[in-house]
Amino acid sequence: MALQDAELLEKIRQQFETAPYPNMPLELSAKSDANLLYANSFVTPFYLRNQQLASPKDLAILDVGCGTGYKTLVLAEANPGAAIFGIDLSAKSIQLAQQRLRFHGFAEAQFQVLSLFDLEQLDQQFDYINCDEVLYLMPDLAQTLQILKTKLKPQGILRGNLHSLFQRYHYFRAQELFTALGLMQGNPGQQEIEIVLETMRGLSDDVPLKQQTWSAKQADQEPQDYVLMNYLFHGDQGYTIPDLFEALDQADLEFICMTNQRSWDLARLFQDPQNLPPFWQENLPKLSIQEQLQLFELIAPIHRLLDFWVGQAGQTPAWKPPASWTDKDWETARVRLHPQLQTPTVKAAITAAIRQQQQFDLTPYLTAAAPDQVRVAISPYIAACLLPLWDAPQQFPALVKRILKIYACDPITLKPASPQRTSQELRNTLINLEKYLYLLITRLPQ
């Protein structure tokens, strides 16, 4: 590692030693936050890549740059039974992470003060590597990804994220300002933080930098974290979608999808997604996923993070989406809920909706799976058909038999329900729910 890079990493270490991050209460848990658990569950990206289910048991998970351990706790809660290991540059952060995991009953989680660049000291590989809010601080993105790859099992998955150059552009300008004022020569302390606060509060409200970056509410609530993580952030860099894909190519890693892929839907940036302008109707289906993501961000840089899942190259199998399955495929189809929906709370709510003969809206229970303003609701008789999923996965033919008992006849003609038509209607519903990952559907290998 170059001397300049080593000096930068030391400044980053000192900054997090002084102000461990994130500054979250020790007792705070994510057990009731389905969206956060969804994004940190190994089940989610494994299914998206393989269209197969994965059990969190016996998984080895590495949290790189674990900080004070809040995300490490989320990983443990989202993947019950997994072996959890966390590393960080900051000894103080590691101490807090150990306390947090012990407090929440994960005493077996292991932690070590270790640089990402010293990963060769770990004598194992991992099924899942979480590198959250770290990569954008590293001097060389491709090199960093290559190092992480050495600790990734052949079918392992890496989650990483980068600060968006376009979304964070004004903060980078602010960092240049305070660098020019000499506030980032060393590890910023209370004096430097106060200068930033005085400067930003003192600027006129119509000054562009203040309009584009300043939040008085955040500055009042958490002045130290707010300033250090935005205005005096050593190593902070911005990236574009082409930057990300170029680095993945150099590291020989394969893109799976963004962790919030549904919120990157390019068509939904238009007033009528179902009736796009002619040019877009013709060309949007021809665009690669990289091109779609790039155009989305050029039009609407709304995501602070380019948050992604990737894996070893060549590990994505060829598979057909359920919408293209044959009748024979569906005969062997197995349906299960996403783990973050399989909770007593959701089961009680759907049972109440069935008894009251009301539609059941799944969206509030897992908003991360659907785009903004999309409502995913099911009829009471479909809800009754799917109710056994809250106890165990079900074979598709068993669900067909159940719905034929629930919906035995046509309510208009009173004629017996058509098994073929009822089966197709159920199939269409399952396909729609699978699209948003409310359901996970697998089939026997052909």
Burial 316-354 (b: 16+ CB within 10 A, else e): eeeeeebeebeeebbeebebbbbbbbebeebbebbeebb
Instruction: Name the pairing type of β-strands 439-442 and 334-337.
Output: antiparallel
pLDDT above 80 (res 4):
no
Q: Tens digits of per-residue pLDDT, 170-209?
A: 999 999 999 999 999 988 999 999 999 999 999 999 999 9
d(CA 403, CA 426): 8
Highest mean pLDDT: which range of 5-9, 20-24, 438-442: 438-442
Summarize pLDDT for 323-341 with one digit per residue, the tens: 999 999 999 999 999 999 9
Identify the residue whose tokens are 């000192």: 14
**Could you tell me if 98 and 111 are in contact, meaning their C-beta atoms sit under 8 angstroms apart?**
yes
Peptide bond into 22 cis (omega under 30): yes
pLDDT at 2: 66
Kindly report, residue by residue over 199-229, the tens digit of the pLDDT.
999 999 999 999 999 999 999 999 999 999 9
Q: What is the pLDDT of residue 58?
A: 85
- In this prediction, residue 414 carries a pLDDT of 74
Residue type, 417: A
Please state the pTM of the whole predicted model: 0.93
Q: Over the chain, what is the mean pLDDT?
A: 93
Has residue 372 got a pLDDT over 90?
A: no
Question: Tell me: the pLDDT tens digits for 280-320?
Answer: 999 999 999 999 999 999 999 999 999 999 999 999 888 88
List the structure tokens of 20: 């461990």
pLDDT tier at 3 (50, 70, 90 boundaries)? low
State pLDDT tens for residues 263-272: 899 999 999 9
pLDDT of residue 374: 78
- Residue ranges of domains in the chain: 3-166+237-260+303-312, 169-228, 322-442
**Lowest mean pLDDT segment, chosen from 1-15, 71-85, 357-371, 413-427:** 1-15
- 3-166+237-260+303-312: CATH topology is Rossmann fold (3.40.50)
Kindly tell me if the per-residue pLDDT of 412 is higher than 80.
no
Strand 152-163 versus strand 253-258 pairing type = unpaired
Residue 86 pLDDT level (bands cut at 50, 70, 90): very high
113-134 mean pLDDT: 96
The contacts of residue 138 (CB under 8 Å, 6+ apart) are 116, 144, 235
Give the three-class secondary structure for 86.
strand
- 446 pLDDT above the threshold of 70: no
Q: What is the mean pLDDT of residues 403-411?
A: 83
Q: How far is Cα 337 from Cα 331, in angstroms, rounded to an integer?
A: 18
